[in-house]
Structure 1
Amino acid sequence: MRRETRETRIEVELDAGGGVKTGDAVFDHMLTAMSFYMGREIRVSAAYDLRHHLWEDTGITLGEELRSKLPERFARFGSSVMPMDDALVIVAVDISGRPYVNLEVSPAESEEGFSTALFREFLWGLARSLRATIHVKQLAGTNAHHIIEAAFKGLGVALGEAVMEGKELKSTKGLLEV
């Protein structure tokens, strides 16, 4: 999947080798961890003007790529409780057709490159294009690196579950607005 604007040029391919090379070392680390815990290889390349645009547009492009590879029937829901050192984060995903993000993280200790604002932009881009509800809640922790990395790992687990092939449509309405 490719997204090109005046601000970014993003390419994302699931189930392909090549690794993550966005030019932002922190983001590369987070996306690599997320794809590992999702159980899917990922190739990401990017050119960008601002980190804000990189994180948001990569979320959009990843959501489009995930959506394009959804099986006809998919599990829909996924969740994870992820520990990492001082951090404990819960992540829940519902690919329901209704984009929404609830991000409740507040690291007491900042660390260079780890920004909750950028993480929020990534999640909203992903939620809009995947048409998913995503909740991320910090249960414990102080270090920004540990909290955000735990959230990306948890997101990987939750997405991996939600996009798996399912036996039936999980909806009391009998359809999903996806």
Structure 2
Amino acid sequence: MRQTMSFLVCLILMAGCSETLGPNRIPPGSTITFSLPPDEVFRSAARVVEETYRIDSVDRDRGIIRAVPMEYTAKESIASMSDVLVQSNHTFRRVLTLQVRSISDNQVSVSARADLQRLDTTPIAAFANQRQGDDRPAEQRNAGVITDRERAEVWTSIRRDYAAEQEILDKIRQLVKENSL
């Protein structure tokens, strides 16, 4: 019994609680600063995002640039224990958000946040279908009908992509440097 408890405690400690945030906290991203006008840095950041990604939305007032999520298929075992047991292809996407904000009169910071997410719609829909054949009492809406919410795509956040954040910030730094020469 003691060995079992020790094993469970070690397992929990190894799993850790990295990047836990409260419900109202905005997750921080990698940041660089410039001694240039904010408009010039914002234009450079938007141009770099256009080169690598496609721009989804731009909010000049808040200084936020969002890229269209970039999807790809890969065999990665980073999300669940079933991935370790069954090495199958999964659909992932990288979600990129940049924020350009003025710190002082001549200081501008650029923050990048790249999150890696996995498409988990299929397993969730399978469990929804499994519940349809259950003989336990259910509300009428659950009796044989999958709701739109269950049918919608479900993306699970896996981790931050620090390499993508640094890559985009390095490109912005390089472009700003070229433009200021």
Normalised by the size of structure 2, how large is the TM-score?
Answer: 0.30
Taking CA–CA contacts closer than 8 Å with sequence separation of 6 or more, which of the two structures ends up with the larger relative contact order? Answer: 1
Normalised by the size of structure 1, how large is the TM-score?
Answer: 0.30
